[in-house]
Amino acid sequence: MSKTPVRKGFTIWFTGLSGAGKSTLAHELDRQLRARGVPNVEILDGDVVRENLSKGLTFSKEDRDINIRRIAFVCHLLTRNGVPTIAAAISPYRETRDYARRLIGDFIEVHVATPLDTCIERDVKGLYRKALAGEIGEFTGVSDPYEPPLDPEVVCHTQEETLEESAGKILAYLEERGYLAPLRERTAETVVMRGN
């Protein structure tokens, strides 16, 4: 078993509007974790999960909830086996995120709180344009609700923070809560090992 600074499995649960930057932030966090010596991180991206676990589901409230509960089930299995896991899906409903929190236990909710206006301006996938033109229905923030978290562990303001800063806040939280060994301590361990 390789030495890892991860002391306990956890799930970083990103929630936020389409285009808020959840996937981008997930990959930046993955990069920073690996740079810290974490050998494996599992990212469950909304789009990938829809393909592998939820093909055929619609964007109705019922189907969105089923999709999120499936992601939560897989995060639960990974987390209890010590895997650092990142989920990046809109997950618009508070109640369903709370279900995920209860199931997973070691659950860190990160609100990617990019304002709707900014998401509409960015419109990376061109989906807001279509949603605002009425070409796509049930679109979160436009024609479908988004319930922001009331008490998330971390809030990222991507419109005023760099990607590094946002991910850094999450890393700091993981250290603070003992999920991740702090950098200083790991250096000491390395020195001791070299001393042998």
Active site residues: 91
Work out how close the CB of 73 gets to a second copy at its nearest, in angstroms, rounded to a whole number. Answer: 5
* Count of residues near a second copy by CB under 8 A: 19
Give the three-state DSSP class for 115.
Answer: coil
C-beta closer to a second copy: residue 3 or 129: 3
Q: Is 58 in the site for a second copy (CB under 8 A)?
A: no
Taking CB under 8 A as the criterion, the residue among 47, 52, 137, 143 binding a second copy is 52
Backbone angles phi, psi at 79, to 5 degrees: -60, -45
Q: Is 83 in the site for a second copy (CB under 8 A)?
A: yes
C-beta closer to a second copy: residue 98 or 161: 98
Q: Hey, what amino acid is at 194?
A: R
- DSSP E strands in 3-74: the ranges are 10-15, 42-45
CA gap 86, 108 in Å, rounded: 9
Please identify, among the stretches 25-33, 68-76, 161-169, 173-181, the one whose residues bind a second copy according to the rule CB under 8 A.
Answer: 68-76
Find the farthest-apart pair of alpha carbons in the chain and give their distance in angstroms, rounded: 67
Q: Is 80 in the site for a second copy (CB under 8 A)?
A: yes
CA gap 95, 62 in Å, rounded: 12
CA gap 186, 14 in Å, rounded: 27
Contact footprint for a second copy (CB under 8 A): 1, 3-4, 40, 42, 52-53, 55, 66, 69-70, 73-74, 77-78, 80-83
